[in-house]
């Protein structure tokens, strides 16, 4: 007879057996590790008990390190061979993943000619870097170190070696850039033989084999029509570069816990503070170029980041029972800006629901990076995965709300919501954005959303701290102070550089603050003396003043209070409203401000000292036209003959209304129009703002007005422009921008015909023409913008007939 069949094992019993085996294995490993460490401790005790020389311990350490290196090398070779045996093609591709970018991307070119130049320049670059480390990096590192180490910290040896950095690939952008600028991205690959030694408390710790890999952007701007063909350039990393190095001396011998990570973080932070956005290195190539225009351009917008939750994360902590858990948190980075969520204990599906706001200078090419880690107190935190999001996608889509998979791990997803916010210079947009937000709320969640909304900013404040004058000296010794500024909005405080031994400091620094409510918040500036720690004076600016200022900008002298002299600060304050709605005028504003860079006087020579000469009028922008004369003094401002939106008084921004009853001289109403010329694009721009007191032509005592424009004498379809139709309104607000391609010389030969028409239905017989305005551009100054109200006239007006007769 055959033996009786064994009964099938139940799933529960099988799972219990596997759990028991796993627990036995874990217990065995724990016991083995215990006896291993106990043996090491016993050996150390034995050396001391039998009075052996400590040299034996060092010899054992050397032998141990040599064995570990050989063992690691053998494991690597075996792993490569095994992978090649399984999938040869994948193994080879994995080995070449660090090749330069020109290998993979057809639009990235090799730059061997540039690498040869860098090799020739490397000794001189080395001298510059040494000077930078001693004068800039060393004081900054001291601030990052504990007080006990900071006082004695210094760079005792700086040797950058003989291997210069290489340019892995170069890409020059030809699309989406203006004609007076060149955008170039360089892939920097720096694997050096450098050795840098630092000293603290008599202990030497060295850094060698420094490796940096990242994408550096170089902007040549503005382009000019004489040698060197560009007025300035700015250099920066779009995102934090990858930094790695080995430790030498005492640090490497004992592998001090956390020292390597601390030094790597310090090195990366210092690189970020110098040349990762929003920080950049500007270089002036001509006299008269304001370096602040290169160093502190207006941001493109603000990215609102909502890190909601995650799921299916890796189980980083395995207990004796075999159950997995993690203590996850997220580090979020945009350029040099970093944010960290709270830690959620004992879960692989955390819910954070935390919000952050990052100021974005350049959306194209900049990344939002998320790193999910497991908090391990006393040890290095485990990496649970990461991901990168192209900020330009969030800008183009407006709102991104998605689950995104983590990279470099088998599983795990993060739920994030990104909202792009534009910068508007219209104070009315502050109320519009709030109404827009309330309109999108669900009624039952109204109170909850209102509480959430309190965390968000509504504006951004740009503070350009230029200089101070007549600061008080010491009462008895009349010594010059060493002033610096403490600038604060609410609880957020920032400090300027210290200017030693002067009562007329020139900082030329910019600071940026995210503002919750400008109607109630203030900007406080306290000028302090670094030597004595005493205040030299202070000033307080109510941000509400900026809401009523022209273009929301205050650029003037601010008297200091609580001071013994007539001291004052020179500052430029700019307020911008954060809005989810794009407007062509707001989008062009950054371009118009940047155009000021392109205006440098003919005949000015290269600034050999690399210092900013005279500053360009901030109210100016570039373009073609007459070239101003060379200023007689370095302190004089270069006033370019170009159009600008900064210079104009846009009465629309202050909710201007007509001076009379709004019906105009002919009783047909009025229209508000802005005229300006963009010399960079050769465009005559007409902004139709609004109309008042139009005639009621429909049966409901209302009208459906729209605006039709011609740039006379051309009345063809190419010269015709129309706005949208505003239904049932006698005081319509259009706020539309219409453009005409025309050269600067031809603008003064044109007439602008603006006709207000009523959109009639097919069977309506009511009057269509509501009024007309003809503007002679012969006296129009193309270098200034003009905003004004115009009386609507009848179509057969004598004034119009005489104008048409002249042309």
Q: Is the peptide bond prior to 222 cis by the omega test (within 30 degrees of 0)?
A: yes
Task: Using CB atoms within 10 Å of the CB of residue 413, give its burial: 0 to 12 exposed, 13 to 18 middle, 19+ buried.
Answer: middle
- pLDDT > 50? residue 37: yes
Looking at per-residue confidence, does 440 or 414 come out higher? 414
pLDDT confidence band for 108 (50 / 70 / 90):
confident
- pLDDT > 80? residue 688: yes
For residue 117 the two structure tokens come to 């130049």
Looking at per-residue confidence, does 88 or 354 come out higher? 354
As a whole number of angstroms, the distance between CA 120 and CA 123 comes to 7
Please state the pTM of the whole predicted model: 0.56
- pLDDT > 60? residue 591: no
Other C-beta atoms closer than 10 Å to the C-beta of 656 total 16
- pLDDT > 50? residue 802: no
Length of the chain: 807
pLDDT confidence band for 239 (50 / 70 / 90):
confident
Residue 733: what pLDDT? 87
Question: pLDDT tens for residues 449-500?
Answer: 444 456 788 999 999 898 999 898 877 667 888 899 999 998 889 998 888 8
As a whole number of angstroms, the distance between CA 302 and CA 576 comes to 11
Residue 560: what pLDDT? 92
Other C-beta atoms closer than 10 Å to the C-beta of 2 total 4
Task: Using CB atoms within 10 Å of the CB of residue 591, give its burial: 0 to 12 exposed, 13 to 18 middle, 19+ buried.
Answer: middle
Residue 636: what pLDDT? 33
For residue 575 the two structure tokens come to 């307020």
Task: Using CB atoms within 10 Å of the CB of residue 110, give its burial: 0 to 12 exposed, 13 to 18 middle, 19+ buried.
Answer: middle
Nearest 5 degrees, angle CA 403-CA 406-CA 409? Answer: 145
Residue 354: what pLDDT? 93
Q: Are the C-beta atoms of residues 608 and 634 closer than 8 Å to each other?
A: no
Residue 524: what pLDDT? 94
Place of tokens 């860079």: 597
Long-range (24+ apart) CB contacts under 8 A made by 648-651 are 648/551, 648/674, 648/676, 648/784, 648/785, 648/786, 648/787, 649/550, 649/787, 650/550, 650/551, 650/674, 650/785, 650/787, 651/787
Q: What would the mean pLDDT of 233-250 be, rounded to a whole number?
A: 79
Q: What would the mean pLDDT of 588-608 be, rounded to a whole number?
A: 41
Question: pLDDT tens for residues 313-327?
Answer: 888 776 555 566 888
For residue 463 the two structure tokens come to 């503070």
Task: Using CB atoms within 10 Å of the CB of residue 10, give its burial: 0 to 12 exposed, 13 to 18 middle, 19+ buried.
Answer: exposed
Residue 619: what pLDDT? 31
The dihedral of CA 711, 712, 713, 716: what is its sign? positive
- pLDDT > 50? residue 447: no
Is 651-806 a domain of CATH 3.40.30.10?
no
Nearest 5 degrees, angle CA 315-CA 320-CA 325? Answer: 20
Q: What would the mean pLDDT of 157-165 be, rounded to a whole number?
A: 85
Q: Show Cβ contacts of residue 96 under 8 Å, excluding neighbours closer than 6 positions.
A: 103
Question: pLDDT tens for residues 519-572?
Answer: 899 999 999 998 888 899 999 999 999 988 888 889 889 999 988 888 999 999
pLDDT confidence band for 3 (50 / 70 / 90):
low
**Crossing angle of the two packed helices 11-49 and 54-86, in degrees rounded to 10:** 150
* C-alpha dist (Å) from residue 579 to 144, 374, 708, 776: 36, 36, 29, 36
Residue 301: name the closest of 459, 178, 455, 182 by CA. Answer: 459
Residue 577: what pLDDT? 92
Is residue 610 classed as helix, strand or coil in its secondary structure?
coil
Question: pLDDT tens for residues 262-272?
Answer: 666 777 777 77
As a whole number of angstroms, the distance between CA 334 and CA 259 comes to 26
Question: pLDDT tens for residues 613-666?
Answer: 333 333 333 333 333 333 333 333 323 323 333 333 333 333 344 445 667 888
Question: pLDDT tens for residues 169-181?
Answer: 888 887 777 788 8
pLDDT confidence band for 578 (50 / 70 / 90):
very high
Looking at per-residue confidence, does 188 or 5 come out higher? 188
As a whole number of angstroms, the distance between CA 334 and CA 325 comes to 29
Residue 373: name the closest of 425, 423, 321, 408 by CA. Answer: 408
Whole-number mean pLDDT of the chain? 75
Task: Using CB atoms within 10 Å of the CB of residue 128, give its burial: 0 to 12 exposed, 13 to 18 middle, 19+ buried.
Answer: exposed
CA atoms within 13 A on the CB side of 779: 2
Residue 363: what pLDDT? 86
Q: φ, ψ for residue 791 (rounded to 5)?
A: -75, 135
Give the H or E element holding residue 304.
strand 301-311
Residue 397: what pLDDT? 87
As a whole number of angstroms, the distance between CA 737 and CA 675 comes to 10
Looking at per-residue confidence, does 378 or 444 come out higher? 378
Residue 460: what pLDDT? 93
Residue 438: what pLDDT? 67
* Lowest-confidence region among 81-85, 196-200, 262-266, 533-537: 81-85
For residue 396 the two structure tokens come to 């183009």
Q: Are the C-beta atoms of residues 561 and 404 closer than 8 Å to each other?
A: no
Q: Are the C-beta atoms of residues 378 and 410 closer than 8 Å to each other?
A: no
- pLDDT > 80? residue 763: no
pLDDT confidence band for 744 (50 / 70 / 90):
confident
- pLDDT > 80? residue 140: no
**Crossing angle of the two packed helices 88-95 and 54-86, in degrees rounded to 10:** 130
Residue 537: what pLDDT? 92
As a whole number of angstroms, the distance between CA 446 and CA 726 comes to 31
Give the H or E element holding residue 512.
strand 506-515
CATH topology of domain 459-582: Immunoglobulin-like (2.60.40)
As a whole number of angstroms, the distance between CA 772 and CA 798 comes to 12
* Lowest-confidence region among 61-70, 193-202, 507-516, 613-622: 613-622
- pLDDT > 50? residue 721: yes
Q: Show Cβ contacts of residue 187 under 8 Å, excluding neighbours closer than 6 positions.
A: 100, 101, 108, 167, 168, 169, 170, 214, 215, 216
What is the rounded end-to-end Cα distance, in angstroms, of the chain? 121
Q: What would the mean pLDDT of 300-307 be, rounded to a whole number?
A: 93
Q: φ, ψ for residue 52 (rounded to 5)?
A: -75, 155
């Amino acid at each position: 007879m055959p033996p009786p069949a064994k009964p099938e094992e139940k799933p529960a019993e099988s799972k219990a057996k596997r759990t028991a085996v796993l627990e036995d294995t874990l217990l065995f490993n724990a016991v083995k590790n215990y006896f291993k460490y106990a043996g090491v401790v016993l050996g150390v005790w034995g050396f001391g008990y039998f009075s052996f020389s400590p040299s034996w311990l060092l010899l054992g350490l050397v032998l141990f390190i040599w064995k570990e290196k050989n063992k690691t090398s053998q494991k690597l070779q075996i792993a490569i061979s095994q992978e090649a045996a399984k999938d040869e093609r994948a193994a080879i591709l994995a080995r070449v993943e660090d090749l330069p970018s020109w290998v993979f991307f057809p639009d990235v070119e090799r730059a061997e000619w540039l690498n040869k130049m860098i090799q020739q320049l490397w000794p001189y670059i080395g001298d510059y870097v040494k000077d930078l480390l001693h004068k800039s990096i060393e004081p900054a590192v001291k601030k990052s170190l504990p007080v006990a180490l900071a006082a004695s910290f210094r760079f005792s040896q700086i040797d950058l070696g003989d291997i210069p950095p290489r340019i892995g690939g170069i890409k020059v952008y030809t699309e989406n850039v203006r004609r007076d600028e060149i955008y170039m991205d360089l892939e920097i690959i720096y694997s050096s033989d450098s050795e840098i030694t630092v000293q603290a408390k008599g202990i030497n710790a060295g850094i060698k084999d420094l490796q940096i890999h990242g994408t550096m952007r170089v902007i040549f701007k503005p382009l000019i029509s004489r040698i060197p063909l560009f007025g300035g350039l700015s250099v920066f990393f779009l995102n934090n570069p990858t930094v790695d190095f080995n430790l030498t001396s005492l640090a490497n011998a004992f592998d001090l816990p956390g020292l390597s990570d601390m030094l790597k973080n310090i090195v990366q932070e210092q690189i970020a503070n110098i040349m990762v956005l929003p920080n950049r290195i500007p270089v002036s190539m001509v006299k008269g170029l304001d370096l602040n225009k290169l160093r502190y351009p207006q941001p493109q917008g603000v990215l609102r980041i909502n890190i909601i939750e995650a799921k299916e994360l890796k189980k980083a902590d395995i207990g004796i029972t075999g159950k997995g858990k993690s203590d996850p948190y997220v580090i979020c980075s945009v350029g040099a800006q970093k944010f960290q969520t709270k830690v959620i204990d004992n879960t692989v599906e955390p819910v954070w629901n935390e919000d952050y706001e990052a100021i974005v200078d350049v959306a194209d090419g900049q990344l939002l990076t998320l790193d999910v880690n497991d908090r391990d107190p006393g040890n290095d935190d485990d990496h649970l995965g990461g991901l990168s999001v192209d900020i330009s996608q969030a800008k183009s889509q407006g709102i991104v709300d998605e689950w995104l998979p983590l990279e470099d791990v088998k599983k795990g997803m993060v739920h994030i919501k990104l909202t792009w916010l534009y910068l508007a210079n219209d104070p009315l947009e502050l109320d519009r954005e709030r109404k827009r937000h309330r309109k999108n709320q669900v009624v039952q969640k109204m109170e909850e959303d209102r509480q959430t909304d309190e965390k968000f900013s509504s504006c951004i404040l740009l503070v350009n701290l230029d200089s101070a004058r007549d600061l008080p000296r010491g009462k008895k010794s009349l010594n010059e102070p060493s002033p610096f500024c403490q600038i604060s909005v609410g609880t957020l405080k920032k400090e300027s550089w210290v200017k030693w031994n002067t009562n007329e400091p020139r900082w030329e620094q910019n600071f940026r603050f995210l503002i919750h409510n400008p109607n109630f918040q203030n900007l406080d500036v306290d000028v302090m003396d670094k030597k004595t720690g005493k205040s030299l004076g202070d000033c307080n600016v109510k941000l509400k003043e900026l809401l009523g200022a022209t273009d929301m900008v205050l650029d003037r002298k601010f008297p200091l209070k609580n001071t013994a002299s007539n001291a004052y600060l020179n500052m430029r304050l700019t307020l911008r409203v954060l809005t989810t709605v794009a407007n062509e005028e707001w989008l062009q504003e950054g371009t118009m401000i940047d155009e000021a860079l392109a205006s440098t006087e003919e005949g000015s020579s290269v600034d050999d000292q690399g210092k900013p000469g005279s500053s360009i009028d901030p109210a100016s922008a570039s373009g073609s036209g007459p070239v101003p004369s060379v200023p007689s003094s370095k302190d004089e401002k270069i006033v370019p003959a170009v159009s600008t939106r900064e210079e104009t008084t846009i009465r629309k921004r202050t909710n201007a209304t007509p001076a009379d009853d709004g019906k105009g001289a002919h009783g047909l109403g009025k229209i508000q129009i802005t005229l300006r010329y963009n010399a960079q694009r050769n465009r005559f721009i007409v902004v139709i703002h609004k109309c008042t007191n139009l005639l009621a032509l429909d049966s409901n005592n209302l009208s459906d007005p729209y605006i039709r424009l011609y740039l006379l004498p051309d009345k063809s379809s190419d010269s015709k422009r129309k706005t949208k139709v505003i239904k049932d309104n006698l005081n319509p607000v259009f706020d539309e921008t219409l453009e005409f391609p025309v050269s600067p010389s031809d603008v003064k030969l044109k007439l602008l015909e603006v006709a207000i028409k009523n959109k009639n239905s097919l069977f309506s017989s009511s009057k269509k023409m509501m009024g007309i305005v003809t503007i002679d551009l012969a006296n129009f100054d193309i270098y200034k913008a003009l905003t004004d109200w115009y009386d609507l006239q009848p179509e057969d007006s004598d004034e119009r007939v005489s104008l048409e007769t002249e042309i």
